[in-house]
A and B are shown apart, each in its own frame.
Chain A
Amino acid sequence: MKFIAFFAILITGFLLIYATVDMPDWGDPNSPPNSHVSPRFIEKVIQETATPNMVTAVLADYRGYDTFGETVVIFTAGIICLMLLRRGSDG
C-alpha cells in the first residue's frame, strides 16, 4: 500500500515538474499573471479609491463581493464548530 502511494507520488511529481518547463520564469515582469489585469489596478488605484495599499483596495473594493463570500465562509465555519462541539451535558 505504501509502495503504491509512493509510486503515485513519483508519477504525479514528475508530471508536475515536466509541466513547469512551460511556466514563466521566476520574477518575469512580462509573464501572463503580471501583465493581464494587475497593471490596471496598480495605475488606477489612487485615482479611483485614494488608497495607497493596493492589496486592501483590491480586497475590499474591486473584489468586495469575493471578500463578502469569504466572511460568510469563516462565519459558517465558526457556527459549524459551535454546533458540532458545544452541546449540553447530555452529549
Chain B
Amino acid sequence: MVSRYENVIIETVSRLLIPAMQLFGLYVIAHGHGSPGGGFQGGCILAASFILMVIAYDIKEAKSRMSENLNTILCCAGVFIYGGIGLLCVILGGNFLDYSVLHKVLPVDPVKARYMGIFGVEIGVGIAVMAVMVSIFLNIASGGEHEGAMK
C-alpha cells in the first residue's frame, strides 16, 4: 500500500488549482439561471476538485479536510433540502414543488418566488451530487478500505 508519492510539481499545481475549481463550481451552481450551469454540473465540478485532491495527495489527507461523516450527512442534506422546499410549498397551501406560493415567506412577487425556489432546489441538487460522487469515488477507488494513495 503506497501512502503518498510526494511529487512536488503535482502537489503544488493541485494546491493552486483546487480553490479555483471550487470557486468555479460555486459560480456554476449560483449562476445557473442566466448562463449554462446548474446543480448537477456545479456539483460535479466540486466533486472533481475533491477527487483531484485525493489523486494528488492521498485519501487520509483528503479525509482530514472533509470527513466521511460530514460527506454522508451532506448526501442526505441535499435530498432533504430538495424535499423540504417541496414540502414547504405544500405547507404554504400549494402543490408539491409549486414554488409560486413561496412569496408568502419571501419578500418577492410570485414569479420571482419561482426564481428563488429554483435556486434553492439547485443548491440541494448540487450538495447531493457533490457528496454522492465523492462517496462513490472513494468507495470504488479504494475498494471500501479508505486508505492509501491512488495508483
Contact between A and B in the complex (any CB pair below 8 Å): yes
Q: Does any Cβ of A come within 8 Å of B115's Cβ? A: yes
* Interface of A (DSSP majority class): helix
Q: Which residues of A contact B111 (CB under 8 A)?
A: 47-50
Q: Which residues of B contact A59 (CB under 8 A)?
A: 38
Choose from B33, B76, B79, B140 the contact partner of A85 (Cβ within 8 Å). Answer: B140
Q: Does any Cβ of B come within 8 Å of A87's Cβ? A: yes
> Which residues of B does A touch, CB under 8 Å?
32-39, 72, 75-76, 78-79, 82-83, 86, 96-97, 99, 111-112, 114-115, 117-118, 121-122, 124-125, 128-129, 131-132, 135-136, 139-140, 143-144, 146
Given contacts A75-B75, A78-B136, 18 further A-B contacts (CB under 8 A): A49-B114, A52-B34, A55-B38, A56-B37, A56-B118, A60-B121, A61-B97, A61-B114, A67-B82, A67-B125, A68-B97, A71-B82, A71-B128, A74-B132, A75-B76, A78-B75, A85-B139, A86-B139
